[in-house]
Amino acid sequence: MGKMEIYMCKSCSKYTFPKKYFCSNCGSIDYDLVEAGSGIVKEISLINHMLGQKDWKPRNIANVETNLGICITVGIEGNIEIGDLVTLSLDNGVPIGKRSR
């Protein structure tokens, strides 16, 4: 598991995830990485099937508002409810949220 990091534009400080080639705000191509360690669950979706994935098991994904204020979509480990605080990390490049205790 790695740290969940968000791209921050070096010239206008706008957060972006996933990374875009140009900043959508100012067009800059220079980014800094900023850690987004936690977030609040805003929306949960159960994904029952994924096209082209044979061994897919039903799993939750959630829209999470990170501590930086930007909303991202993450995979969820374990049970989750809207309003829960989750710890964010990266698993093989995929953002994962886990309920904090």
For residue 64, the minimal CB distance to Zn ion (Å) is: 23
Which residues form the interface with Zn ion (CB under 5 A)?
9, 12, 14, 23, 25-26, 28
Give the whole-angstrom CA distance, residue 20 versus residue 26: 12
Given the complex with Zn ion, which of 7 and 97 has the nearer CB atom?
A: 7
Given the complex with Zn ion, which of 14 and 99 has the nearer CB atom?
A: 14
For residue 27, the minimal CB distance to Zn ion (Å) is: 7
Instruction: For residue 41, give both structure tokens.
Output: 């669950």
- What's the angle, vertex CA 13, arms to CA 12 and CA 16, rounded to 5? 110
For residue 21, the minimal CB distance to Zn ion (Å) is: 12
Given the complex with Zn ion, which of 10 and 59 has the nearer CB atom?
A: 10
Give the whole-angstrom CA distance, residue 91 versus residue 88: 10
Instruction: For residue 75, give both structure tokens.
Output: 């995979």
